[in-house]
């Protein structure tokens, strides 16, 4: 077991806060943040050289380092500010005809649902949110639930690799294999995945994949990526048309030219990514992450017993990583989240997914059992008072 206190000192998170929400926006370790500020200084000292001359080659170097981490060809990657940006590129460009269907689950992230609904409605296509039977009993059970939604009109599948509110790792490997067998395009939302679950894009072989590097990889905010398989790259028009479109000085990649330069902006966050990877290497991250997963699981049943809820899937490495969704009932999730923050200084999201509500705790290197005990006591109090929360 690593020492959470050692890691508390290595992060900038306010020490007055019990921070159990790493999953939303991650957090930068101090040495990584210093590297970020160093890049911003390089930018401020010579903005022209940074943006117009050296910048894009540096971005390419950072992409190469990212590609080694997630195991794919660097030519198939571009950085994006966030996963929503990445999949707006995909959704805007997917060749959908009226009546075509995109098959997804009823557990997707709200911003992604909105993205797909927006572009599907423009094209007369349908976004089919297949209800997933909960609790998920096994990989086969999940896949059976999912494939009930497929029809002869399905063109693509869209799926979270790790879901947001429900915090479940889904068997995207088997799902992508079956989708391919059926001739469907595979689009995987791995926002939570890099440095949280094993990721080998070459082996997974999706058509499109996005991941956030500012979550579990701990890069500065605004660092994510879009992976697109080569055969799709030329069909992707830029979301933001800038100098890379019909470039006067094209590089060897139209994919890079069209999507990497979105006008003047500070791309220091992208250049800091190698420092995040070095931080993990220097701090035995595989071991740290394993003990975080253990802590997540050791506490899961205790919280479920408190709220009379049940885990949404088996409590093992196949379905769970460093987050757990505690089922709870509340008429006002936002008010409950605010109360936990204001009264207890606990930062933890309370989120609705369909008709269910969850308190989702994340465990990162700096979190301890004592912090989960604080959450337990606060929820116990809220359930007892019954004002904002009741048993699931
Ligand atoms: C499953 C999932 N997809 C995508 C996102 C990305 O959101 P954004 O693009 O706002 O960073 C998140 C963020 O938490 C998420 O949980």
58 and 196 assigned to the same domain: yes
Q: Judge whether residue 2 has pLDDT over 90.
A: no
17 in ligand 1 pocket by Cβ < 6 Å? no
> What's the mean per-residue pLDDT of the chain?
97
Model pLDDT, residue 247:
94
Helix (H) or strand (E) holding 158: strand 154-160
Q: Judge whether residue 12 has pLDDT over 90.
A: yes
Burial 18-45 (b: 16+ CB within 10 A, else e): bbbbbbeebbbbeebbebbeebbebbee
Encoding tokens for residue 380?
A: 């116990």
274 and 365 assigned to the same domain: no
Q: Which of 278, 293, 314 is the last residue of a domain?
A: 278
Ligand 1 atom closest to residue 162's alpha carbon, by position in its atom list: 1
61 and 210 assigned to the same domain: yes
268 and 295 assigned to the same domain: no
Q: Which of 278, 303, 327 is the last residue of a domain?
A: 278
Do the domain assignments include residue 205?
A: yes
Percent of the chain with pLDDT over 70: 100
26 and 37 assigned to the same domain: no
292 and 174 assigned to the same domain: no
**Residue 334 is part of which domain span?**
4-30+284-385
- Cα of 83 to ligand 1 centre, how many Å? 6
Question: How many structural domains does the chain have?
Answer: 2
Ligand 1 atom closest to residue 163's alpha carbon, by position in its atom list: 1
83 in ligand 1 pocket by Cβ < 6 Å? yes
Model pLDDT, residue 296:
98
Encoding tokens for residue 307?
A: 């709220």
- Cα of 109 to ligand 1 centre, how many Å? 6
Ligand 1 atom closest to residue 224's alpha carbon, by position in its atom list: 11
Do the domain assignments include residue 86?
A: yes
Q: Which of 278, 296, 330 is the last residue of a domain?
A: 278
Model pLDDT, residue 194:
98
Model pLDDT, residue 9:
95
173 and 25 assigned to the same domain: no
Q: Judge whether residue 1 has pLDDT over 90.
A: no
- Residue having the nearest C-alpha atom to atom 14 of ligand 1: 24
Q: What is the per-residue pLDDT across 190-204, written as a single tens digit (0 to 9) for each?
A: 999 999 999 999 999
DSSP characters over 338-365: HHHHHHH-EE--EEEETTEEEEEEE--T
Long-range contacts of 174-183 (CB under 8 A, 24+ apart): 174/139, 174/143, 175/143, 175/146, 176/204, 176/205, 176/206, 178/143, 178/147, 180/205, 182/150, 182/154
Model pLDDT, residue 209:
99
Q: What is the per-residue pLDDT across 88-126, written as a single tens digit (0 to 9) for each?
A: 999 999 999 999 999 999 999 999 999 999 999 999 999
Do the domain assignments include residue 320?
A: yes
Q: What is the per-residue pLDDT across 362-389, written as a single tens digit (0 to 9) for each?
A: 999 999 999 999 999 999 999 999 999 9
Q: Which residue has the tokens 């900038």?
A: 12
- Cα of 387 to ligand 1 centre, how many Å? 31
Distance separating alpha carbons of residues 327 and 324, to the nearest angstrom? 10
14 and 116 assigned to the same domain: no
Q: What is the per-residue pLDDT across 145-196, written as a single tens digit (0 to 9) for each?
A: 999 999 999 999 999 999 999 999 999 999 999 999 999 999 999 999 999 9
Encoding tokens for residue 308?
A: 């009379």
Region 285-291 average pLDDT: 97
Do the domain assignments include residue 91?
A: yes
Band the pLDDT of 336: cuts 50, 70, 90.
Answer: very high
Ligand 1 atom closest to residue 83's alpha carbon, by position in its atom list: 9
Region 288-315 average pLDDT: 98
Do the domain assignments include residue 111?
A: yes
Do the domain assignments include residue 261?
A: yes
Report field, pTM of the whole predicted structure over 0.85: yes
Pairing state between β 350-353 and 356-362: antiparallel
Do the domain assignments include residue 392?
A: no
- Cα of 283 to ligand 1 centre, how many Å? 26
211 and 340 assigned to the same domain: no
What CATH code is carried by the domain that includes residue 361? 3.90.1150.10
271 and 372 assigned to the same domain: no
- Cα of 88 to ligand 1 centre, how many Å? 12
């Amino acid at each position: 077991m690593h020492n959470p206190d050692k890691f508390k000192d290595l992060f900038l998170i306010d020490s007055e806060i019990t921070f159990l929400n790493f999953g939303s926006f991650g957090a930068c370790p101090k040495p990584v943040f210093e590297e970020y500020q160093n890049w911003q200084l390089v930018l401020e000292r010579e903005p022209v050289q940074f943006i117009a001359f050296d910048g894009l080659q540096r971005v390419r170097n950072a992409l190469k380092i990212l590609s080694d981490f997630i195991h794919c060809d660097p030519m198939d990657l571009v950085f994006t500010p966030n996963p929503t940006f990445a999949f707006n590129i995909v959704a805007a460009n997917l060749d959908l005809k009226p009546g075509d269907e995109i098959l997804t689950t009823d557990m997707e992230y709200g911003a992604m649902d909105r993205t797909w609904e927006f572009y599907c409605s423009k094209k007369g296509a349908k976004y089919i949110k297949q209800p997933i039977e909960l609790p998920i009993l096994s990989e086969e059970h999940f896949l059976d639930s999912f494939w009930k939604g497929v029809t002869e009109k399905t063109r693509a599948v869209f799926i979270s690799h790790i879901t947001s509110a429900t915090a479940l790792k889904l068997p995207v490997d088997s799902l992508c294999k079956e989708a391919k067998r059926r001739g469907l395009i595979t689009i995987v939302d791995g926002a939570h995945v890099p440095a949280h679950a094993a990721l080998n894009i070459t082996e997974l072989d999706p058509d499109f994949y996005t991941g956030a590097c500012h979550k579990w990889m701990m890069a500065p905010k605004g660092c994510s990526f879009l992976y697109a398989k080569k055969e799709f790259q030329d069909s992707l028009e830029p979301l933001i048309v800038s100098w890379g479109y019909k470039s006067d000085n094209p590089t060897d990649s139209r994919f890079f030219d069209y999507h990497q330069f979105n006008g003047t902006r500070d791309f220091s966050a992208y250049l800091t990514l190698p420092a995040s990877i070095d931080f993990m290497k220097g701090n035995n991250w595989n071991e740290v992450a394993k003990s975080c997963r253990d802590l997540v699981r050791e506490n899961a049943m205790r919280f479920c017993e408190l709220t009379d809820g049940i885990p949404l899937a088996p409590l093992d490495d196949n379905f769970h990583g460093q987050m757990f969704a505690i089922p709870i009932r509340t008429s006002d999730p936002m008010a409950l989240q605010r109360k936990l923050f204001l009264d207890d200084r606990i930062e933890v999201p309370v989120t609705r997914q369909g008709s269910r509500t969850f308190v989702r705790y994340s465990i990162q290197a700096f979190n301890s059992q004592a912090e989960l005990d604080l959450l337990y006591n606060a929820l116990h109090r809220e359930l007892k008072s019954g004002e904002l929360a009741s048993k699931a």
